[in-house]
């Protein structure tokens, strides 16, 4: 999780408050001191930190609170809301519409991560089904086109650019015209950066914008600069019609909190954050979800959206079979594909409360590779093997499947063991009356106990015990109903 240190410190302060027998002015001040210190260490502007303190104190007027009000909850809620406010600019990014060409132009200073972000942004949307292309209008930096070409090829996104043309406006116009004619829905234009905000940079940006008429201009900025990004964001906003911002290099950087809050203070919405150098290290940014995950509360709405976007809920047969306690290998295949579509596994899992510490960074890719391996093995199975859970796999059949998919027989055994484990789980779920009748209120009551019996005790503890699970189920069912 981005800014995990900051998150740990703030949630630690909130937990300490929850453990106190008396919640008085002194306890509130102590907690606010700790939260403020953590924010300042993350380079959040001191005035913003003071404002947060004052707003929380105003919201929680301990002297005037009626007896019986849960003070801890009230304080926690106020801190949560104020952290969200700090990251909310109060404006929305320009919307993109499917089925028509949307031109998105990227601007920013040199080295901020603009080119990398253009390709990540293209890759992100392409995976969501957008017909996407890239135009390299950076004719200033030698090697810029090669860099874009290389990563666009890796991401399998079509691109346009020139090694010889020096007129950036011409390249931008030609590329956008070409992809417009070919009915691309998302045409991303990467522009030149300079070391500083000089006149030439702004003039070229204005000319390119004039030539390609972008639907949206995205400003890319370097998160490692902390709160000093404020002036830069403001300067760009004043010169070109910046619609939204991507803050890059937030992976593990201590100053990230400062950068995010400073950008929002300029009234520019942050739409994505860059969390690494790989293609899928780009995360959509929404203040509420971010704060939830920051504090280890999970982000159920983010998870449900990811599920919906991936189209996971489009196969009602799976749910029906699971209700009956049956899982086929084909169901598993569909589920694995959905997981891959939703994005990197670690990111999906970090949307669950308490899970982010469980999947150490670095292990996420191993998990994804394992799923890919399983999918390739299942591609070598027959329809009967995929659809009939009663089929038995003997040694020679496993060897053949392994050979057919270019894998080891051990990998096939590994997949079948995983399938067996999940089948067992599903058969237990199938015995649950609540699921059969669709009575979710009963499900909320019974499921946590059943699940808690099946779960690793350490994991359960991290999720807040059986009652934590119960809350999770509540959130789940309300999200799905909503």
**Positions in the binding site for ligand GTP (CB under 6 A):** 108, 110-116, 138, 141, 144, 193, 248-249, 251, 274-277, 281
Which of 23, 273 has the CB closer to ligand GTP? 273
- Asked if 62 contacts 69 with a C-beta cutoff of 8 angstroms, the reply is no
Q: What span, in angstroms and rounded, lies between the C-alpha atoms of 300 and 478?
A: 10
Q: Closest distance between ligand GTP and the C-beta of residue 315, in Å?
A: 34
Q: Is the dihedral of CA 379, 383, 385, 387 positive or negative?
A: positive
Which of 131, 141 has the CB closer to ligand GTP? 141
Question: Which residue matches tokens 């926690």?
Answer: 76
Q: Closest distance between ligand GTP and the C-beta of residue 285, in Å?
A: 12
Cα torsion at 403, 409, 414, 419 (round to 10°)?
60
Residue from 257, 282, 371 nearest 4 by CA: 257
Q: Closest distance between ligand GTP and the C-beta of residue 254, in Å?
A: 13
Which of 30, 251 has the CB closer to ligand GTP? 251
Q: Closest distance between ligand GTP and the C-beta of residue 239, in Å?
A: 16
Which of 116, 266 has the CB closer to ligand GTP? 116
> Pairing mode, if any, of strands 244-248 and 216-222?
parallel
Q: Closest distance between ligand GTP and the C-beta of residue 114, in Å?
A: 3
Q: Which residues pair with 270 in a beta bridge?
A: 245
Q: Closest distance between ligand GTP and the C-beta of residue 280, in Å?
A: 11
CA distances from 311 to 169, 315, 454 (A): 39, 8, 28
Q: What span, in angstroms and rounded, lies between the C-alpha atoms of 439 and 379?
A: 37
Which of 19, 166 has the CB closer to ligand GTP? 166
Query: What are the backbone angles phi and psi of residue 2, rounded to the nearest 5°?
Result: -65, 140
Q: Closest distance between ligand GTP and the C-beta of residue 253, in Å?
A: 8
Which of 111, 311 has the CB closer to ligand GTP? 111
Q: Closest distance between ligand GTP and the C-beta of residue 211, in Å?
A: 19
- Asked if 282 contacts 121 with a C-beta cutoff of 8 angstroms, the reply is yes
Which of 177, 251 has the CB closer to ligand GTP? 251
Indicate the angle between helix axes 71-86 and 4-19, nearest 10 degrees.
160
Which of 145, 352 has the CB closer to ligand GTP? 145
Q: Closest distance between ligand GTP and the C-beta of residue 277, in Å?
A: 4
Q: What span, in angstroms and rounded, lies between the C-alpha atoms of 94 and 245?
A: 11
Q: What span, in angstroms and rounded, lies between the C-alpha atoms of 310 and 305?
A: 8
Query: What are the backbone angles phi and psi of residue 135, rounded to the nearest 5°?
Result: -120, 125
Q: Closest distance between ligand GTP and the C-beta of residue 366, in Å?
A: 20
Q: Which residues pair with 220 in a beta bridge?
A: 246
H or E element in which residue 221 lies = strand 216-222
Which of 112, 462 has the CB closer to ligand GTP? 112
H or E element in which residue 282 lies = strand 282-284
Q: Which residues pair with 136 in a beta bridge?
A: 190
Q: Closest distance between ligand GTP and the C-beta of residue 144, in Å?
A: 5
- Asked if 186 contacts 118 with a C-beta cutoff of 8 angstroms, the reply is no
Which of 80, 219 has the CB closer to ligand GTP? 219
Q: What span, in angstroms and rounded, lies between the C-alpha atoms of 393 and 416?
A: 9
Which of 133, 473 has the CB closer to ligand GTP? 133
Q: Which two tokens stand for residue 441?
A: 């209120």
Q: What span, in angstroms and rounded, lies between the C-alpha atoms of 460 and 370?
A: 24
- Asked if 226 contacts 259 with a C-beta cutoff of 8 angstroms, the reply is yes
Q: Is the dihedral of CA 274, 13, 264, 253 positive or negative?
A: negative
Which of 113, 448 has the CB closer to ligand GTP? 113
Q: What span, in angstroms and rounded, lies between the C-alpha atoms of 306 and 300?
A: 10
């Amino acid at each position: 999780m981005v800014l995990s240190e900051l998150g740990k410190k703030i949630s630690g302060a909130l937990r300490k408050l929850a453990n106190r027998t008396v919640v008085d002015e002194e306890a509130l001040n102590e907690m606010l001191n700790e939260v403020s210190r953590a924010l300042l260490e993350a380079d959040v502007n001191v005035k913003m930190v003071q404002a947060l303190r004052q707003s929380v104190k105003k919201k929680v007027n301990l002297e005037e609170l009626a007896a019986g009000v849960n003070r801890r909850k009230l304080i926690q809620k106020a801190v949560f809301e104020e952290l969200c406010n700090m990251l909310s600019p109060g404006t929305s990014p320009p919307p993109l519409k499917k089925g028509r060409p949307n031109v998105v132009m990227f601007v920013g200073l040199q080295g901020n991560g603009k080119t990398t972000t253009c390709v990540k942004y293209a890759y992100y949307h392409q995976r969501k089904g957008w017909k996407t292309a890239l135009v390299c209008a950076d004719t200033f930096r030698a090697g810029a086109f090669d860099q874009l070409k290389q990563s666009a090829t890796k991401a399998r996104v079509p691109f346009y650019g020139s090694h010889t043309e020096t007129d950036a406006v011409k390249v931008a116009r030609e590329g956008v015209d070409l992809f417009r004619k070919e009915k691309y829905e998302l045409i991303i234009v990467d522009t030149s950066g300079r070391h500083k905000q000089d006149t030439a940079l702004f003039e070229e940006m204005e000319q390119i914008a004039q030539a390609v008429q972008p639907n949206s201009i995205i400003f890319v900025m370097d998160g490692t600069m902390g709160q000093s990004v404020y002036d830069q964001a403001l300067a760009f906003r004043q010169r070109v019609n910046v619609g939204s911002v991507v803050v890059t290099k937030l992976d593990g950087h201590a100053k990230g909190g400062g950068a995010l809050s400073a950008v929002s203070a300029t009234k520019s919405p942050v739409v994505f954050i860059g969390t690494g150098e790989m293609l899928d290290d780009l995360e959509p940014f929404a203040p509420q979800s971010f704060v939830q995950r920051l504090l280890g509360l999970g982000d159920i709405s983010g998870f449900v959206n990811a599920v919906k976007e991936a189209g996971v809920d489009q196969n009602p047969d799976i749910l029906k079979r699971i209700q009956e306690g049956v899982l086929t290998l084909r169901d598993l295949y569909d589920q694995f594909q959905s997981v891959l579509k939703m994005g990197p596994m670690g990111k999906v899992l970090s949307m669950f409360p308490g899970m982010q510490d469980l999947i150490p960074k670095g292990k996420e890719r191993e998990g994804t590779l394992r799923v890919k391996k399983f999918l390739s093995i299942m591609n070598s199975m027959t329809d009967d093997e995929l659809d009939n859970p009663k089929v038995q796999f003997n040694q020679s059949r496993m060897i053949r499947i392994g050979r057919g998919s270019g894998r080891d027989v051990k990998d096939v055994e590994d997949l079948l063991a995983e399938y067996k484990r999940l089948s067992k789980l599903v058969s237990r779920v199938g015995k649950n009356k609540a699921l059969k009748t669709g009575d979710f209120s009963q499900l909320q009551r019974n499921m946590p106990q059943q699940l808690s019996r099946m779960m690793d005790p350490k994991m359960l503890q991290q999720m807040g015990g059986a009652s934590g699970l119960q809350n999770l189920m509540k959130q789940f069912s309300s999200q799905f109903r909503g």
